[in-house]
Amino acid sequence: MFHKEGHKILAVTILICIAVNVLSYLFIEISWINQLILAASIIMFLLILQFFRNPKRQTVVSDHNIVAPVDGKVVVIEEVFEKEYFKEKRLQVSVFMSPINVHVTRHPINGEVVFSKYHPGKYLVAWHPKASEENERTTVVVKNDAVGEVLYRQIAGALAKRIVNYAKEGQEVVQGSDSGFIKFGSRVDVFLPIGTKLEVELNQKVKGGLTVIANV
């Protein structure tokens, strides 16, 4: 299954691949060049196709667990001062996504969306220390009675040129459900209450909607 955000891009890619190959066969009489162009077109389409895959995930829903919002590798675990919403110290867990990861963003907890805001910005590499504050990003806060408020921030990177966020203030969301998409790259930061018990460690690989990153 493929994410709806990729439907238009996949359709355009197919048309471009067909056009390029038709033109090559019409105007290039060297067969090995035609075959090379065909092979390159197929590889390019398959790479884009895998990027927009959207596997179904069976989240074990629990008000006391926080699940990973995306697939990737845990690159940051530290206490930081969260400036935008909490304006106090929080425990930050950051997950970096490579181009081969699934790029669907999922709600880390059940609850009500109490904050959702888009910020235009730069396109620094995702692991840059200032990426969380200066890159294009969206900030979403979900609240429930067991965990309290959990903030997650989609951050664009050097390749990611569009962040899609479906979360709207006042909306009731289900843990593990689709909350957005980051096109071509990047990372998601999760900000948890100080004292939250972590279930992950640095460099651990996680799966969105499946891996429990913390619990209360």
Relative to beta strand 212-215, strand 197-198 is antiparallel
Cα–Cα dist 14/18, whole Å = 6
pLDDT recorded at residue 174:
96
Q: Which residues are catalytic?
A: 186
Cα–Cα dist 88/39, whole Å = 53
pLDDT recorded at residue 13:
86
pLDDT recorded at residue 120:
86
Sequence-separated (6 or more) residues with CB below 8 Å from residue 31: none
pLDDT at 87 over 60: yes
Q: Kindly report the backbone phi and psi dihedral angles of residue 128, in degrees, each rounded to the nearest multiple of 5, phi listed first.
A: -65, 135
Which pTM does this prediction carry? Answer: 0.83
Relative to beta strand 172-173, strand 65-67 is unpaired
pLDDT digits (tens, 9 = 90+) for 94-144: 999 887 888 899 999 999 999 999 988 776 665 666 666 767 889 999 999
In the three-class reduction of DSSP (H, G, I as helix; E, B as strand; rest coil), residue 14 is classed as helix
The DSSP 8-state label assigned to residue 196 in this structure reads P
H or E stretch at 134: helix 131-134
Structural domain spans, the chain? 4-51, 65-215
Cα–Cα dist 159/11, whole Å = 21
pLDDT at 39 over 70: yes
Place domain 65-215 in its CATH homologous superfamily: Glucose Permease (Domain IIA) (2.70.70.10)
Relative to beta strand 148-155, strand 137-144 is antiparallel
Of 76-80, 128-132, 165-169, the least confident:
128-132
